[in-house]
Amino acid sequence: MRIEKIEMFSYQAPLSRPFAFSQWWFTKRSAFLVKIVLENGTEGWGEVYAHVQPSVYAGIIKEVLASIYLGQNVLHMDVLWERAYNRTRDYGQKGMVIHALSGLDIAAWDAAGKLLDQPVSVLLGGRNRERIEAYATGLYRTQTDDLPSALAEEAKDYVSAGFRVMKMKVGYGIDSDIENIRAVRDAAGAAVGLAIDANHAYDSATAISLGRRAHEYNILWFEEPVAPEDKIGYAEVRERQPIPVSGGEAEHTRYGFRDLLQARGVDISQPDLGGMGGISEGRKVVTLAGIFGIRSQPHVWGTAVAMAASLHVISWMPDVPGSANPVEPMLEWDQTEHPVRDLLTDLPSTEMPWVNVPDDPGLGITVNTDRAAKFLIDHSIIGIQDVAGYSSTVEQLH
């Protein structure tokens, strides 16, 4: 079934309360969604992991990627991905080109599932789990004179909401980090799992020092301790402090993850499907990590489209290592304000902290762009007729 049209939706929404992590402050949230439409009218939705002005991805898709996808058989997701990557590998091995490709790929999987009347998890090969435990991502810096107390109250709210695991931000200096970690641990209680995320704020020596001091607070994992390019630094942090190390949200494709895994830089691989290459590439990275004996747990920080894509991939993921009592992968559930996420689509059903994997075809979600219309800053459409010479420059896949 041919892809006839690609639509792109760029959103930005102001926040009622700014928040920060180790790198910068957020005063607004962005989202970039991709919809592909097949010749029979079937639609597929995808999402790009978007921090920058989201409409930049529309230009990449319209000028570079659309001619590769339009007119093609949507069921040939892997072939289309490889063609797009090969066409752009001289200048797009990482970063925004891969992000844009990720959104297209997720949309193709959603459309393929609807076309075949099957959930994406079934197309991947089946489900190892029907529901997935969610952990709360929050505990950012806010505009307060007493951050430890504010974080403690937030942690109590997550426990009351049913979360058994939460992740907090660090990267503000070791002493400040330890003060915040202590406050959150005391508030949440010893039975609650706690992870820390530095968002690559530290060099390896500082990250090692923090890991050694934070270990007494029973930390589940230490996320992005150093810059994503510093594979040796990742390995040093992993070897020289006791907390398991995770990373990968800023890595791209199986090639980038190969280098991170070969360096033995992480205990937990965290591909973001909206940024590292989509579902087609995400399943390869999960398989590659498993070869190295490393667990995967996708990073998610977007709307319910990104959440649904991750739910299906996590549902399919095998246990690493295989065991009667495995360490199950979890779903990252962003607790920060995101008006587009809340208005765009219905979230999957939950019995907190458990999230049920959608059973409907494709990603199993319903997108209603009218609910986010006031945050729309750009909407563009490109069809077969807009790609000059597509039929003569791209071999048709049937």
pLDDT of residue 284: 98
What pLDDT does 393 receive? 42
Nearest by Cα to 38 from 102, 117, 107, 121: 107
What percent of the chain shows pLDDT beyond 90? 91
pLDDT in tens, 37-81: 999 999 999 999 998 889 899 999 999 999 999 999 999 999 999
- Confidence (pLDDT) at 392: 38
Residue range 3-118+367-393 forms a domain whose CATH class is alpha beta
Whether pLDDT at 253 is above 80:
yes
Where are any strands of DSSP class E within 206-294? 219-223, 245-247, 268-269
Query: Among the options 200, 252, 299, 312, which is catalytic?
Result: 299
Which residues, 6+ apart, have CB-to-CB distance to 23 below 8 Å? 171, 199, 200, 201
When pLDDT is cut at 50, 70 and 90, the band that residue 385 belongs to is: confident
101-144 pLDDT, tens per residue? 999 999 999 999 999 999 999 999 999 999 999 999 999 999 99
Helical (H) or strand (E) element with 213: helix 204-214
366 Cβ contact partners less than 8 Å away, ≥ 6 residues apart: 345, 346
The whole-number pLDDT of residue 360 equals 95
Partners of 167 in beta bridges: 137, 195
Per-residue pLDDT tens digits for 172-225: 999 999 999 999 999 999 999 999 999 999 999 999 999 999 999 999 999 999
Q: Above 60 in pLDDT, residue 397?
A: no
pLDDT confidence tier of residue 344, bands split at 50, 70 and 90: low
Query: According to the CATH classification, is domain 121-356 in 3.20.20.120?
Result: yes
**Same fold flag, 3-118+367-393 and 121-356:** no
Predicted confidence (pLDDT) per residue in 96-107, tens digit: 999 999 999 999
Report how far residue 272's alpha carbon sits from residue 217's, in angstroms, rounded to the nearest whole number: 27
Apex 264 CA angle, 262 and 267, nearest 5? 130
- Asked if residue 102 lies in contact with residue 46, where contact means CB atoms within 8 angstroms, the answer is yes
> What's the confidence (pLDDT) of residue 372?
87
Whole-number pLDDT of residue 361: 97
Residue 336 has pLDDT above 90, yes or no: yes
Distance CA 257, CA 108 (A): 23
Nearest Cα neighbor of 302 from 356, 330, 342, 271 is 342
Flag whether pLDDT at 234 surpasses 80. yes
Per-residue confidence (pLDDT) for residue 396, from 0 to 100? 53
What confidence category does residue 245 fall into, taking pLDDT thresholds of 50, 70 and 90? very high
Instruction: Decide if 76 is catalytic.
Output: no
Lowest mean pLDDT among 4-8, 91-95, 266-270, 339-343: 339-343
For the chain, the domains span 3-118+367-393, 121-356
Q: Where residue 262 falls among pLDDT bands split at 50, 70, 90?
A: very high
Q: What does pLDDT average to over the chain?
A: 95
Which tokens go with 297?
């747990």
Q: How far apart are the first and last CA of the chain?
A: 8
What is the distance between the alpha carbons of residues 135 and 187, in angstroms, rounded to a whole number? 16
Structural contact between residues 56 and 30, judged by C-beta atoms closer than 8 angstroms: no
What is the tens place of the pLDDT at every residue in 285-320?
Answer: 999 999 999 999 999 999 999 999 999 999 999 999
Which pLDDT band holds residue 387 (cuts at 50, 70, 90)? confident
Question: Tell me: the pLDDT tens digits for 30-42?
Answer: 999 999 999 999 9
Question: Is the per-residue pLDDT at 389 higher than 60?
Answer: no
**Residue 32 backbone phi and psi in degrees, to 5:** -135, 115
